[in-house]
Structure 1
């Protein structure tokens, strides 16, 4: 829920700032700024909640903790790269792939009641997917319409 709040809040703030300082709304730029802020926020979780995020990956995946750190660094890099027009389209496509690849981890975590913030097995379970799957689709569409289809 917090990433969605950040995404929408930063988008609205960016639209207002664009209107005040540049005389118009720049939806694409505001969308990229909002997604960048959201990615930087969620990247923090990879370092603050490493144990719980590691639990979101099945045990047969090697180097799970390192993978959590790597994906956090990837989110930071993508958040910054979105702001550079020359590479924002490529970054957008890579982010869409990234979001699609993250979905199985979220599904696994829901089925196993993983609470990534506590690093425990008392998460909300399957009901979490009713929010998470549409949210993941929103992220994909957001990136597509702000960074790829201009």
Structure 2
């Protein structure tokens, strides 16, 4: 739930900044969305180091090097935060974010099924009714703001056609 709050609050803040300081320019919602996703990954990446004891419980005990995995995934999330802000890397980063979200989802399922006292998982399997749509939402968000190619506007399409004739 905290990740969703960070994502949406950062998105709203990025839009507000654009409205206040860049009034003459149209709002680039994809950029604001990438900033928000970067803020969320900064938050979650840092959490891997500050809340490592709770996060390690989200992995089954038979998994070796659980703390190491938590720290490495935290570092990966911090790289995502920066990659989403760099023009030349945000599309690749978005693809990697989607793959990452898919790969870590089983740990959320494990934690919910075992009522791990971390991140809402204490509510048990019922938490998956929130977590599954959230995961789909985050994947869709990453796709829309970082991976998908922006559609051309009608004016730019007409301009392209007139240049080719």
Q: TM-score, normalised by structure 1?
A: 0.92
- Show the counterpart of 2:41: 39
* RMSD of Structure 2 on Structure 1 (CA): 1.4
Aligned-pair CA distance for 1:67 = 0.2
8 A contact 1:110–1:124 mirrored in 2? yes
Work out the CA distance in 2 between the residues paired with 1:87 and 1:146: 13
1:21 aligns with 2:9: no
Aligned-pair CA distance for 1:60 = 2.5
Work out the CA distance in 1 between the residues paired with 2:92 and 2:63: 27
- Show the counterpart of 1:140: 139
8 A contact 1:49–1:116 mirrored in 2? no
Alignment of 1:40-55 (within 5 A): 40-55=42-57
Give the 3-state SS of the residue equivalent to 1:142 in structure 2.
helix
8 A contact 1:36–1:78 mirrored in 2? yes
8 A contact 1:51–1:116 mirrored in 2? no
Work out the CA distance in 2 between the residues paired with 1:90 and 1:130: 30
Question: Where do 4+ consecutive residues of structure 1 move more than 6 Å?
Answer: none
Gaps of 5+ in 1: none
Aligned-pair CA distance for 1:15 = 1.4
Work out the CA distance in 2 between the residues paired with 1:8 and 1:142: 11
- Show the counterpart of 1:6: 6
Q: TM-score, normalised by structure 2?
A: 0.84
Alignment of 1:1-150 (within 5 A): 1-22=1-22, 23-116=25-118, 123-149=122-148, 150=150
Work out the CA distance in 1 between the residues paired with 2:118 and 2:71: 14
Give the 3-state SS of the residue equivalent to 1:86 in structure 2.
coil
Aligned-pair CA distance for 1:116 = 2.4
Instruction: Output one character per residue of 1:21-69: Cα deviation in whole Å (capped at 9) or x when no partner.
Output: 3322111100000000011111122112212211111122221110000
Work out the CA distance in 2 between the residues paired with 1:49 and 1:9: 22
Whose radius of gyration is greater, 1 or 2? Answer: 2
